Amino acid sequence: MRNCKSSAAYAKYGAGVSGADSQPAESAPNRPTRIAGPLAANYCRALQQLTSSTLPNPVIAAKIFLLCPDPIIPVCVSLQFHFASFAFGVCCLLRGFVFIFWTVSLVFLFLTSAMAAPRFLRPAGRLLQSRIASPIRPAFRVPACAPSVNYRRSYATESGSKEVTVRDALNEALAEELESNDKVFVMGEEVAQYNGAYKVTRGLLDRFGPKRVIDTPITEAGFTGLAVGAALAGLHPVCEFMTFNFAMQSIDQIINSAAKTHYMSGGIQPCNITFRGPNGFAAGVAAQHSQDYSAWYGAIPGLKVVAPYSAEDAKGLLKASIRDPNPVVFLENELLYGQAFPMSEAARKDDFVLPIGKAKIERPGKDLTIVTLSRCVGLSLDAAAQLKEKYGVDAEVINLRSVKPLDVETIIKSLKKTGRLMAVESGFPMYGVGAELLAVSMEYGFDYLTAPAVRVTGADVPTPYALGLENMSFPQPDTIVSQAAKLLRV
């Protein structure tokens, strides 16, 4: 955490020293005094009176959070000197001094406040520090989480691979489908003139025009209803949410209209629509922008749910989703948008499509099966590498790609080989994707289990805003390694 430097700042500016009467570390005679005589005496009295009262909490909080880890105390002291300057000027005026002398004194104090002797600054600094240190010191004790790498392997399966970001892969898939099918159009907040909140739709407006790439008002319930209606009329809309947290505003249209119409019409009325946008944990966007909705939509009959990891996943699965006659919830992750993955020459062709409902073995192994999705695939690959290095454990990592339909066959086939299963997801522990994977392992692979299946999930709390707490509330490679070691008893 970047605030870890603040402890050094406190040590430098008198941390642990209480009271305004404590002696400074350096003796006053060693430093020149810039203010002398009656002026200095009046100045010090004004400062002493001022520091006897507490500054408003918002002022202190603003200085802490805007300037950390820069030195806090000098800024607050400077603020107090300015107030002291004003107080001294008022005192002079009340004593009968002429206005011009008051003005000169005020300007003089402002100009010399930064050059005041340490014997004036340090007592005030210690007093301020003692007031603000105790409330914020616990925050500095939160440990910083080590950064992790999202992937450590070659992804492309053929020669001629090229590095492509997930963002560019999604953009390429949208452009190819818009080009090949006149019924396809894109709509959502800022998808046209602003090129999308995450620039996934960059350049599509210029290429296909405002009738195919449509900006909408900030009303998810309204434009989702329009998109579902267009799908029921035979078009193939791609409805973008700035985040799937905002899709809660349109849950009725997604579930009651899009997901159920095909069944309720006796198979007569399909609803070809793709709902796409970022989902799950991000970076510093707090509880209302970080929830993982994989399990929510995976529980709804009539919906297909896709969660890509790599650039190859993103392109192939998005094209398949747009072509699928069923409503598809396409769950991206904003932390993966800028990640570059090797992409094969075949995957970069216009006709590249991946089947929905088919998982991919990212890393073969024989000792443990790790089943995961979205960004947790990269975390699991890191954990698998650590398991191999520390314990010699050969873990197999399965990228689900699709939450619904679930590729039970690939999971059970791997479980039959390894005998142990671990599910890793970023969602909440209760009734999540991990719980479903454990149920599948019990129902279809119980005879192959040599140890109870386990899961690693997000914490059962709303996502914290603080970076340290946020990282601790989601799976990390170290957590996965620890749980795997317990499962394997190594």
Which CATH number characterizes residue 309's domain? 3.40.50.970
Q: E-strand spans in 206-327? A: 213-215, 236-240, 274-278, 304-306
The 10s digit of each residue's pLDDT in 303-342 is 999 999 999 999 999 999 999 999 999 999 999 999 999 9
Residue 312 belongs to some domain of the structure: yes
* DSSP H helical ranges for 68-161: 73-94, 99-112, 118-140
Same domain, 331 and 377: no
Same domain, 390 and 307: no
Structure tokens at 84: 């002291």
Same domain, 115 and 204: no
Domain interval for residue 480: 360-488
73-94 and 37-51 helices cross at what angle (nearest 10)?
A: 120
Same domain, 187 and 327: yes
Of 296, 314, 343, which marks where a domain is finished? 343
Residue 151 belongs to some domain of the structure: no
The 10s digit of each residue's pLDDT in 192-233 is 999 999 999 999 999 999 999 999 999 999 999 999 999 999
Residue 188 belongs to some domain of the structure: yes
**Cα Rg for the chain, rounded, in angstroms?**
31
Closest CA to 238 of 294, 290, 200: 200
Whole-angstrom distance, CA of residue 64 vs CA of residue 72: 6
Same domain, 174 and 230: yes
As beta bridge partners, residue 275 has 239, 329
Residue 148 belongs to some domain of the structure: no
Closest CA to 208 of 247, 236, 179, 229: 179
Question: Amino acid identity of 211?
Answer: K
> Running DSSP on this structure, what letter comes out for residue 253?
I
Of 295, 312, 343, which marks where a domain is finished? 343
pLDDT of residue 127: 65
CB within 8 Å of 422: residues ≥ 6 apart: 368, 369, 370, 371, 453, 454, 455, 456, 480, 483, 484, 487
Active site residues: 220, 289
Q: How many domains does the chain have?
A: 3
Residue 453 belongs to some domain of the structure: yes
Same domain, 122 and 190: no
SS3 category, 113: helix
Output phi, psi for 398, to 5 deg. -110, 125
Whole-angstrom distance, CA of residue 77 vs CA of residue 80: 5
Same domain, 308 and 185: yes
Residue 157 belongs to some domain of the structure: no
SS3 category, 412: helix
481: CATH? 3.40.50.920
Structural contact between residues 187 and 226, judged by C-beta atoms closer than 8 angstroms: yes
Cα four-point dihedral sign 56, 61, 62, 68: positive
Question: Amino acid identity of 242?
Answer: M
Whole-angstrom distance, CA of residue 340 vs CA of residue 140: 34
Same domain, 375 and 333: no
Residue 408 belongs to some domain of the structure: yes
Residue 113 belongs to some domain of the structure: yes
Regions of the chain with pLDDT less than 50: 1-85, 92, 97-98, 114, 116-117, 139-140, 142-157
Same domain, 298 and 184: yes
As beta bridge partners, residue 277 has 331
Structural contact between residues 362 and 397, judged by C-beta atoms closer than 8 angstroms: yes
Closest CA to 401 of 393, 410, 392: 410
SS3 category, 209: coil
pLDDT of residue 133: 59
SS3 category, 31: coil
pLDDT of residue 289: 87
Same domain, 202 and 336: yes
Same domain, 336 and 387: no
Structural contact between residues 298 and 436, judged by C-beta atoms closer than 8 angstroms: yes
Whole-angstrom distance, CA of residue 316 vs CA of residue 326: 17
The 10s digit of each residue's pLDDT in 154-177 is 344 455 678 999 999 999 999 999
SS3 category, 52: coil
* DSSP H helical ranges for 326-476: 376-391, 408-418, 433-445, 467-472
Closest CA to 45 of 145, 124, 110: 124
Output phi, psi for 260, to 5 deg. -105, -15
Of 140, 172, 188, which marks where a domain is finished? 140
Same domain, 181 and 87: no
Separation in Å, CA 480 to CA 149, 158, 176, 441: 14, 30, 38, 19
Output phi, psi for 331, to 5 deg. -95, 105
